[in-house]
Structure 1
């Protein structure tokens, strides 16, 4: 940008700290130099090194299939292990862990909370590491350490030992969700991110199916150790056994993906241009960090995660005890955890498909909130003499499970810039951890097996969540109107469609349409300049 052009820079949207050029000799000159200096991310370096390429939709789809196999499958495996290992405490409780370890009062509740408290503490380290370190190597190191921690739980016979090992488990698991959110943003278009986020996050439901079956089998094994010890030892060893496979398959980024040719790496980068979110840079940018803190969306998403986490951790820790309180034995209680996870899978896949079909997120998420509210109300008032009706109510409550992956996906589609994305991911996980710490504490021992305080608290959280979802949709619509006005002031194409949520065929047709009209040569010109959603006037928010 010339000195003459720089003199025309004025402050625009001061509350968002965004600058624009009032007189624009070239369409590309629309972003303040202070954002573009050293802003180039890894994707831009790949394009500079290998140059641009022509490619077909078939080649695009081939790259997508490779990404799904080599990146999404390892993510699915790791997240399945996360939830299996995290749920081990709940399974062990059915086989008299509380009695064997002499747990009294709220000690069992604290075993549920400590894992999330440690995740909360470790989050700042995780956010910084995700910018500075190779993501896949960071993930594998943490997977190995938490596998060792889980194995050590089998040797613990008191509250102190179990608390210490659960704390370590929480510390090493803390980085997994933020890492995988970052990787999803790094490898897939925004339309595809919904499905891929769903793919690895639905492993929580898959683990809810596998876990009870494994636990049921382990409970019948006659050996020199107690069933609850066998659960910890077996699941910990499975985690360790998968580490070499994960290390071999999972790439750190597109440039290190050994399963892609040079041309395919360029295609993998170019197909992300429509996202307008960049890919990755190892530079920590203080202005993006500050913007994340000032962004009202950050705190809206955070409150949503807290409202989901309080019920999730409470029911996750006490769910088996609630079910056992209906009058079923230990083995039936374990097996009864399978059906709600099957239902959750169906709802999650159906919800994801509906979101992409209607190209809106909030109606589906808001609709899903209504199920756990109805289930909790039913569980409180159905007579205790009707165990099957109580079990049905419990299954309806468990339909809260799709909420977390859908909201996480929605939130991360609406943020851009490497530092901002990583900071947002860490903040959301901190909010989630805070809710997870609080969740088990509202389930009072003297209220067993009904736990009225816990269920009333959960209903209140879900009601607040419904309000927050609708409010966020209104705010995002307001931001899109503001972005349109900015493009108009900047002399850019005003009415643009979000190609990142189109199918490949629709996006290709739209590009031909705007090219034929002589427009759009500058659209997405700053896609790889590592700009935030506030800094880039072409970024479009997804409702």
Structure 2
């Protein structure tokens, strides 16, 4: 590739910090004596270009806009369909699936859990594939295969056949959330990640709103060939298959390979992520990263957090419509009354993401989001289930629906505090395993025989929301310890102990101490060396 001179340095406003720009004009050092396969692909692209570009508020905003316009519609569509496809089971239960397939005892609960059993078993393979396989193609193939699996549920009329279809649905969906976390780490600054993660996870709320409305319409279709629940499976399955072709054509694999970005914009996209200290892409599987992920206490705190939130999530997702029906509503009203549930989810998810961005902290926001579900569980356990109390019971149910705002913030918290390509994927795998285990356990705590009170399920959910608060505080304390350790390592390396993590601030922002003096930012010489967060003393953990 022809070497070009760096573009002229733009004029900076007197209130804009120029440290990032100054550092980006440093000569590019070739990695002599270093195996190129061990470098981050971003560093290789910079070396081929001959320079790293200058990041300014203006070009950062322009490239971020291009990235959002290309990625977010695809991610939102995929996650909307995934959550819709998972929710078809609960919708189908209202339209006669339980009676038609003669489901009894724990059968229906296991149809909800088996998806997560499959995801649990396949997480190690998913972690490996996400390092080795292009992300865009991975998402397209996954989308196609789970759409086929859902369509096949149309012909399933027994517990065994439904279980097999749900098993394959779980296998093909196993990599979606880990891939989305990887995409977010690969394309966005840490400051930008909570809102982007929240936006696609907020599709849970959109599904509960529009999925309920669509299902309401499908439930009115009269057919001599298909039962209403079969129409639901077929309709959503075929849509998913169609969308997979769009994903294959338009979803880029990485900023380095993005065809929709000119070469200069690719360099800007890379420079945007320098201060993350997390790298962008490397296709080498590193066993020392695997070992570190297994020994890192953070990995198991993420696991515990996801387990604690996913047990209530799995139960309420599977039994939510049945809980509402137990208040004394008919089938169609039960479906319609899930619309406000979705609206609360949407507000909680995006509100939590916005608050985490504004505070530049996720732990306190997570603890805050645990309080409404605690109150909601208490209401459903204490209020009598009769016609006179339908309104208060619905209010309690809707208050519980704040809990979906917790999961994407845990995703974001983990994503922002892990570095090293293989370690990122393994840590995400551990986190997803916790989510899968929780979603397996969750539905089993509810049984149709316990209607209408569902006391065991709601009591266990209440306890777990309280446990979440304790785990959040423990994780914040541990990251404080890690930051102090890195301060000591920086001093030993001749660097300033206190640095500012500029990935958590707007590009060009001036960060000052109490006396008004600018604070040194973390140096970026380790940014694209594929170092783990433990081994990179410049890495700053965010609470």
The two structures have a TM-score, normalised by structure 2, of 0.90
Q: Report deviation, 1:56.
A: 3.3
Aligned pairs for 1:484-523 within 5 A: 484-506=487-509, 510=510, 523=523
- 3-state DSSP class of the match of 1:90? helix
Whole-angstrom CA distance in 2 between matches of 1:37 and 1:130: 20
Whole-angstrom CA distance in 2 between matches of 1:541 and 1:213: 42
Counterpart in 2 of 1:273? 274
Aligned pairs for 1:12-27 within 5 A: none
Whole-angstrom CA distance in 1 between matches of 2:36 and 2:538: 19
Q: Report deviation, 1:493.
A: 2.3
Counterpart in 1 of 2:197? 197
Q: 1:277–1:527: 8 Å Cα contact kept in structure 2?
A: yes
Whole-angstrom CA distance in 2 between matches of 1:102 and 1:431: 31
Distance 1:99 1:318, change over 3 A: same
Whole-angstrom CA distance in 2 between matches of 1:199 and 1:445: 33
1:444 to 2:447 alignment: yes
Q: 2:500–2:511: 8 Å Cα contact kept in structure 1?
A: no
Q: Report deviation, 1:520.
A: 6.2
Gaps of 5+ in 2: 1-31
Q: Report deviation, 1:521.
A: 9.5
Counterpart in 1 of 2:407? 404
Counterpart in 2 of 1:56? 56
Counterpart in 1 of 2:366? 365
Q: 1:309–1:436: 8 Å Cα contact kept in structure 2?
A: yes
Whole-angstrom CA distance in 1 between matches of 2:447 and 2:33: 54
Q: Report deviation, 1:505.
A: 3.2
Aligned pairs for 1:450-465 within 5 A: 450-465=453-468
* Count of residue correspondences: 506
Gaps of 5+ in 1: 1-32
1:183 to 2:186 alignment: no
- 3-state DSSP class of the match of 1:318? helix
Aligned pairs for 1:142-541 within 5 A: 142-224=142-224, 225-385=226-386, 386-506=389-509, 510=510, 523-541=523-541
Whole-angstrom CA distance in 1 between matches of 2:53 and 2:128: 34
Distance 1:512 1:328, change over 3 A: closer
Distance 1:489 1:175, change over 3 A: same
Distance 1:202 1:396, change over 3 A: same
- 3-state DSSP class of the match of 2:385? coil
Q: 2:345–2:402: 8 Å Cα contact kept in structure 1?
A: yes
- 3-state DSSP class of the match of 2:192? helix
Distance 1:119 1:223, change over 3 A: same
Aligned pairs for 1:68-87 within 5 A: 68-87=68-87
Whole-angstrom CA distance in 2 between matches of 1:155 and 1:117: 22
Whole-angstrom CA distance in 1 between matches of 2:33 and 2:318: 49
Whole-angstrom CA distance in 1 between matches of 2:298 and 2:36: 26
Q: After superposition, what is the alpha-carbon deviation per residue over 1:10-50, rounded to whole angstroms, capped at 9, x for unaligned?
A: xxxxxxxxxxxxxxxxxxxxxxx999995410110111111
Whole-angstrom CA distance in 1 between matches of 2:192 and 2:68: 10
Whole-angstrom CA distance in 1 between matches of 2:239 and 2:522: 51
Whole-angstrom CA distance in 1 between matches of 2:266 and 2:197: 22
Q: 1:116–1:437: 8 Å Cα contact kept in structure 2?
A: yes
Counterpart in 2 of 1:44? 43
Q: Report deviation, 1:355.
A: 1.4
- 3-state DSSP class of the match of 1:125? helix
Q: 1:209–1:341: 8 Å Cα contact kept in structure 2?
A: yes
Whole-angstrom CA distance in 2 between matches of 1:199 and 1:487: 36
Whole-angstrom CA distance in 2 between matches of 1:494 and 1:252: 37
Q: 1:39–1:531: 8 Å Cα contact kept in structure 2?
A: no
Q: After superposition, what is the alpha-carbon deviation per residue over 1:82-104, rounded to whole angstroms, capped at 9, x for unaligned?
A: 00000000000001100011112
RMSD: 2.0
Comparing 42-51 with 90-99, greater Cα deviation is found at 42-51
Q: 2:39–2:528: 8 Å Cα contact kept in structure 1?
A: yes
Q: 1:278–1:530: 8 Å Cα contact kept in structure 2?
A: yes
- 3-state DSSP class of the match of 1:390? helix
Q: After superposition, what is the alpha-carbon deviation per residue over 1:344-368, rounded to whole angstroms, capped at 9, x for unaligned?
A: 2122222222212121111110011
Q: Report deviation, 1:343.
A: 1.6
The two structures have a TM-score, normalised by structure 1, of 0.90
Q: After superposition, what is the alpha-carbon deviation per residue over 1:257-290, rounded to whole angstroms, capped at 9, x for unaligned?
A: 1110000000000110000001110000111110
Q: Report deviation, 1:232.
A: 0.3
Q: Report deviation, 1:474.
A: 1.1
Q: Report deviation, 1:74.
A: 0.6
Whole-angstrom CA distance in 1 between matches of 2:511 and 2:263: 25
Distance 1:520 1:387, change over 3 A: closer
Q: 1:43–1:280: 8 Å Cα contact kept in structure 2?
A: yes
Counterpart in 1 of 2:27? none
- 3-state DSSP class of the match of 2:253? coil
Whole-angstrom CA distance in 1 between matches of 2:478 and 2:256: 36
Q: Report deviation, 1:53.
A: 2.4
Q: 2:499–2:522: 8 Å Cα contact kept in structure 1?
A: no
Whole-angstrom CA distance in 2 between matches of 1:518 and 1:62: 27
Whole-angstrom CA distance in 2 between matches of 1:315 and 1:473: 28
Distance 1:36 1:482, change over 3 A: farther
Whole-angstrom CA distance in 2 between matches of 1:154 and 1:450: 32
Whole-angstrom CA distance in 2 between matches of 1:511 and 1:438: 46
